[in-house]
Amino acid sequence: MRQGEIRALHTENIKILDEGNGVITIKQSYGAYEGCKVPKGKRERLVPAPAWLCEELIDHAEKSTYGTSMVFWSKESSSSPISSSYMRKELYSCLWDLLEEIAHCPKEMVQDRDKVDKDGNPIMIRKGEVLRRERAVDFHSFRHYFVTWMRSCGLLTDGQLRGVVGHQDASTTDGYTHQTEANLKRIGAITNNILQFKVEKNAS
């Protein structure tokens, strides 16, 4: 999913199919200046998602103090989702922790490209940010990774893959966007193996 599509997500767009599978319907996107708009490609599409993730998204939306169905609601406004800068900040923070853990340098601070402040003091940043820059990882990188990984599996047609990620070209017929429930579950089973998550629910 694109960042704007995530920001525009509402609970009515999320459906749990069975114990393990769910699906998200992409109906709109959210732009910095336009607000809600039609998604890129100007058509709806279905994206498979693990059932546990669908449940988490719905649970998060229900915590909204505004009583709306917006999943990623903003504390500053009842009508707008969280900002793209907030999403980027939270993503980078997680990436810093992960990359520093891999490099065995948790919370290490380093000088930012020989930069100094107005008093001549070095400007310090997390080592994880340096590692992130070296790898050129940003929000959109995950879409590229997903497409590359799915193609390497060789288990989906190009049409099926385009239907999920929302890519189009002039030679593509409308048929590839109409995913059956069985096909969505099949794609979901493949995508769930990209990263394994363990979700622990709090005991009631």
Residue 41 has pLDDT above 90, yes or no: no
Q: Final residue of a domain: which of 93, 120, 135?
A: 135
Q: Do 107 and 22 sit in the same domain of this protein?
A: no
Q: Is the Cβ–Cβ distance between 165 and 156 less than 8 Å?
A: no
Does residue 112 form part of some domain?
A: yes
pLDDT band at 174, cuts 50/70/90? very low
Q: Do 49 and 106 sit in the same domain of this protein?
A: no
Q: Do 17 and 66 sit in the same domain of this protein?
A: yes
Q: Do 170 and 185 sit in the same domain of this protein?
A: yes
Q: Do 172 and 90 sit in the same domain of this protein?
A: no
Does residue 70 form part of some domain?
A: yes
Render pLDDT for 118-163 as a digit per residue (tens, 0 to 9).
999 999 999 999 999 999 999 988 888 888 877 777 767 777 777 7
Does residue 201 form part of some domain?
A: no
Which structural domain, as residue segments, surrounds residue 92? 85-135
Total of domains in the chain: 2
- Percent of the chain predicted with pLDDT > 90: 52
Q: Do 49 and 108 sit in the same domain of this protein?
A: no
Does residue 162 form part of some domain?
A: yes
Residue 88 has pLDDT above 80, yes or no: yes
**Average pLDDT over every residue of 163-189:** 60
Closest CA to 128 of 91, 164, 165, 160: 91
Q: Do 70 and 145 sit in the same domain of this protein?
A: yes
Residue 197's pLDDT is what?
52
**Average pLDDT over every residue of 88-104:** 96
Q: How many residues does the chain have?
A: 204
Does residue 197 form part of some domain?
A: no
Q: Do 16 and 47 sit in the same domain of this protein?
A: yes
Does residue 198 form part of some domain?
A: no
Q: Is the Cβ–Cβ distance between 23 and 57 less than 8 Å?
A: no
Predicted model pTM: 0.77
pLDDT band at 176, cuts 50/70/90? very low
Mean residue pLDDT of the chain comes to 84
Does residue 174 form part of some domain?
A: yes
Q: Do 165 and 69 sit in the same domain of this protein?
A: yes
Pairing of strands 21-26, 14-16: antiparallel
Residue 156's pLDDT is what?
72
Q: Do 151 and 101 sit in the same domain of this protein?
A: no
Q: Do 164 and 66 sit in the same domain of this protein?
A: yes
Residue 115 has pLDDT above 50, yes or no: yes
**Average pLDDT over every residue of 86-105:** 96
Q: Do 25 and 116 sit in the same domain of this protein?
A: no
Does residue 204 form part of some domain?
A: no
pLDDT band at 180, cuts 50/70/90? low
Over its C-alpha atoms, the chain yields an Rg (Å, rounded) of 19
